[in-house]
Amino acid sequence: MSQPQNVSIFSPAKINLFLAVTGRRADGYHELISVVAPLDFGDELAAEIGDGRPATGAQFSLECNDPALPVDDSNLVIKAAQAFVAATGWKAAVKFRLTKRIPVGAGLGGGSSNGTAALLALNQLSGAGLGRAALMALAAGLGSDCPLFLPGGPVVMRGRGERVEGLPAAAVRRLHGRSVLLFKPSFGVSTAWTYERLAAAGPESYLAAAEAESRLATWIEGEADAAELLFNNLEPVVFRKYLALPVLLKRLRSQFGLAPRMSGSGSACFALLPVGAPLAEIRAAIVEAWGPISFVQVAAIA
């Protein structure tokens, strides 16, 4: 069977519906228990086998519609491609084109999702046929949030993020298709900074793993709505420095009855949208608090 010469892969954003950081590991990373869901909103990664290598001699090139994004070896798309080649020995030259919509530094997993999309694109183009376990191992080597994008639906991730399992069908039914409002101020937050501050804040900023597992099991095995699952214990450290976040979230709670949360290490936040929510008014409140260049997007849980 002949291999395709080009592929285009949807690279979704994610939100952390439940994020419990349970402790720090000896390697400096943190142990997590998180329910993460991909959205129907995201980037698009196109990959095309080239006629030959570009003048630079590099095997991979990357173009992006966002000029602020580095397209060199520091981009997870290129890192993923290099990891794929190291694992498979594939030699063809590939041109990537990334259409970026997910804001950067947002806790929406954009860069990680792009890295995983690059692995999937090369697996198709090369015909290497790497299976789930091999792709998971490559994704885990790229970044903590890369493996969660492989299954293509809501997952529980544990460890540093490398242990990923699907949710039972009854739990997925309470999440799939739910409408969410994503919103982010013009500034981003560094993931590494957030985890450093959490570690500096002392052991009481973690949630014990047994407590996190028990809360999660209660939600998974019960019938409670998605709203009952929402939790993120990275919020206090981020909210202490970036006051604009808690100020707006408080207003969205009191004025609109929403239950907004921060996603991952921020700065993006999200709220599950009830049917008939006054979107124009909510959007106006966000823009009034965070300014006209804040990002606001309606999406659905995939």
- Amino acid in the structure at residue 1: M
In this chain, which stretch among 47-55, 85-93, 139-147, 200-208 interacts with ligand C5P, using CB under 6 A?
Answer: 139-147
Active-site hit among 43, 79, 100, 145? 145
3-state secondary structure (DSSP) of residue 116: helix
Cβ atoms of 189 and 54 within 8 Å: the answer is no
Q: Does 191 bind ligand C5P (CB under 6 A)?
A: yes
Q: Is 163 in the site for ligand C5P (CB under 6 A)?
A: no
Q: Which residues of 69-95 are buried (b: 16+ CB within 10 A; e: fewer)?
A: bebeeebbbbbbbebbbebbebebbbb
* DSSP-assigned letter for residue 168: P
Decide if residue 195 touches ligand C5P (CB under 6 A). yes
Stretch that binds ligand C5P, among 50-58, 97-105, 137-145, 276-284 (CB under 6 A): 137-145
Cα separation, 24 vs 195, in Å, equals: 9
Is 158 a binder of ligand C5P (CB under 6 A)?
no
Q: Which segments within 74-225 are labelled E, that is strand?
A: 94-99, 155-159, 163-166, 179-184
Q: How far apart are CA 161 and CA 248, in angstroms?
A: 29
Task: At 274, list the tokens.
Answer: 């009830």
Query: Does the footprint of ligand C5P cover residue 32 (CB under 6 A)?
Result: yes
235 is a site residue for ligand C5P (CB under 6 A): no
Name the segment binding ligand C5P (CB under 6 A); options: 9-17, 138-146, 174-182, 271-279: 138-146
> In the bound complex, what is the minimum distance in angstroms from residue 278's beta carbon to ligand C5P?
36
Main-chain dihedrals φ then ψ at residue 46, nearest 5 degrees: -100, 140
Q: Does 161 bind ligand C5P (CB under 6 A)?
A: yes
Nearer to ligand C5P, 14 or 174 (CB): 14
100 labelled catalytic: no
**Smallest distance from ligand C5P to CB 190, Å:** 8
250 part of the active site: no
Q: Six-digit token pair at 4?
A: 């395709």
Residues at the contact surface with ligand C5P, assessed by CB under 6 A: 29-30, 32, 143-145, 160-161, 191-192, 195
Give the active site residues. Answer: 14, 145
